[in-house]
């Protein structure tokens, strides 16, 4: 994988994570790199649950990545909420 492909992969993952964050009421603190990590993990979760569904950009299936990111953000927000109540 070339560096430009990796950067494009991170950007697409971060955008999908940003869209996934809009689907849930809470968000995960952090900037671009946190969103990129959430997007990569969300792409893995969404790909595992839904497989290859919908359009593909930079090696990422967009719909499973957005849904997987929303699931991951929701689970992280529950963890942050539980941690703040302790």
DSSP summary character for residue 59: T
pLDDT at 3: 87
Q: What is the pLDDT along the chain (86 residues), one digit of tens a residue?
A: 688 888 887 788 778 777 877 887 766 667 667 777 777 787 788 888 888 888 887 777 888 888 888 888 888 877 766 666 65
Give strand pairing partners of 60: 57
Show the tokens assigned to 65: 């990545």
Measured from the Cβ of residue 12, the count of other Cβ atoms closer than 10 Å reads 21
Could you give the 3-state DSSP secondary structure of residue 6? helix
Angle between helices 62-85 and 32-50 (to 10 degrees): 120
Owner of token pair 């999908």: 16
Q: What is the pTM of this model?
A: 0.74
């Amino acid at each position: 994988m070339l560096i430009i492909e990796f950067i494009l992969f991170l950007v697409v993952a971060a955008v999908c994570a940003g869209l996934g964050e809009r689907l849930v009421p809470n968000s995960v603190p952090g900037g671009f790199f946190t969103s990129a990590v959430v997007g990569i993990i969300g792409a893995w979760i969404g790909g595992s649950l839904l497989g290859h569904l919908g359009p593909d950009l930079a090696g990422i299936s967009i719909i499973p990545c957005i849904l997987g990111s929303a699931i991951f953000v929701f689970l992280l927000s529950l963890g942050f909420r539980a941690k703040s109540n302790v």
